[in-house]
Amino acid sequence: MERMSSVDAAWLRMETPTNLMMITAVLWFEAPLDWARLKQVVRERLVERFPRFRQKVADASGEWASLHWQEAAAFDLDAHMGRLTLDAPGDHATLEALVSQWMSTPLDRSRPLWQLHGLEGFGQGSALLVRIHHSLADGISLARVLLSLMDESAEAHFLPESETARGGAVPGWMKLLRGARAVVTGSRAALKRGAELISEPIQVGDLVRAGARGVSALGRLTVMTSEPPTVLRGELGTQKRATWSAPIALEEVKALSEATGSTVNDVLLAALTGALRRYLVARGGPVEDLRALVPVNLRSMDEPLPRELGNRFGLVFLELPVRREEPHRRLQELKRRMDVLKRSPEAVMTFGALSVLGMAPSAVERRAMDVVTRRATLVMTNVPGPRHPVYLAGTQLSGLMFWVPQAGKLGLGVSIFSYAGQVTVGVSVDAALVPDPHRMVEAFHDELRALGREDVPPAVR
């Protein structure tokens, strides 16, 4: 058996019936998948390369018991890969309904914590639903794992098994991933400190004492007030709803960022902020600034993924200027707040805090997460994908969307994924709180159009 890291244990024990700690992804293709070839790819590049995909969580009793990974006896790939047929008419709405259903279904803890469902009957093509527990790895790492199954051409050959197992070869897909960055990227120093905190969580205290920025970040976390009551907060149920946007041309977003002197991420987050405002107004609730928990990658994108994977990311609180009515002024203010966060050690501090919580009793961890999530309304994340089309088992990938789980009292998550010159936005919600998440997606498109107006205020240029 192998002892689970305290951070991974924290994410495992964070799961509740109302918030399952799964990362869910759906991939769609322009043609049917070759199932036999796909199983071979998954076996060679996933199961044999990364041990976590053939290990289960060992039983542990007691509040202070350490959690361990244990090799699953007689691992059966067929128990983790199955095929389903979508109900007629097999369209986008049908796929959304199925994704929502499985997003609300827990993984079997008696087996390795992942499942892959091939979905037939999706138009003239096919789709793939992937569910992986957050305790295996963070969202950026799991995106890299999924994309490691891809090739740059339909005719690509498999890596020899020996090279796959030891992780020695660097295939074409890895070159596409290098250089990708998350919504908020830390400095090189922050990345280094994040790596040190893996083995020595106590260094969080040293980091805080290192300078005024650490003290300021700590003070911000301790005095932060709870979020205002809105229709986006309340009693959670056990059913989730997932939806995602039509693809948006990345060039259009880049043009907006250049016209406003901001980044692509600034534009996307400002449009999402405006979409939240539109939704709150439509529901007749109060319109206040809201905080988003934003994951920050603390693992260098240039280093290969370790075989044991794991979680190496922190969280920052981004206060979204929802109260700002004019779209360009809202973008300007959001950019200012983002620039401040990029210089903050907050992400490294929260990583250390998660490491400590993972060693505490479950009840203490749950109470701490409830306190943290009362200070935010949503989780918001951005994962960059390949810039050019890729292929899975010989079939071209048309698009991909993913959703990270919400924790504690949160009932709303927003995800952004870019691929082959297009951007897709996904929303996952607690169905009891937000029965109509598609309205948020529609509002997002409306906000992008509003940002594209010619009358950009001079201060934003």
**So what's the pLDDT on residue 7?**
84
How far apart (Å, rounded) are the C-alpha atoms in residues 398 and 407? 30
Residue identified by tokens 């009840």 is 363
**So what's the pLDDT on residue 348?**
64
Domains of the chain in start order, with CATH, are: 2-177 (3.30.559.10), 188-382+409-460 (3.30.559.30)
- What is the phi/psi pair of residue 48, to 5°? -80, -25
- Coil, strand or helix at 231: coil
How far apart (Å, rounded) are the C-alpha atoms in residues 288 and 441? 20
SS3 sequence of 388-439: CCCEECCEEEEEEEEECCCCCCCCEEEEEEEECCEEEEEEEEECCCCCCCHH
- Coil, strand or helix at 198: helix
Residue identified by tokens 């082959």 is 420
How far apart (Å, rounded) are the C-alpha atoms in residues 61 and 454? 62
**So what's the pLDDT on residue 291?**
92
Q: How far is CA 120 from CA 13, 33, 89, 127, 391, in A?
A: 34, 9, 12, 7, 18
Q: How many residues does the chain have?
A: 461
**So what's the pLDDT on residue 226?**
80
Q: How far is CA 62 from CA 65, 66, 330, 357, in A?
A: 5, 9, 49, 16
Amino acid in the structure at residue 179: G
Q: What is the pTM of this model?
A: 0.83
**So what's the pLDDT on residue 349?**
64
**Which residue positions in the chain have pLDDT lower than 70?**
60-65, 157-223, 345-362, 364-366, 454-461
| Beta bridge mates, 290 | 320
Burial environment of residue 438 by CB neighbours within 10 A (0 to 12, 13 to 18, 19 or more): middle
Residue identified by tokens 């959703």 is 403
Q: How many CB atoms lie within 10 A of CB 252?
A: 14
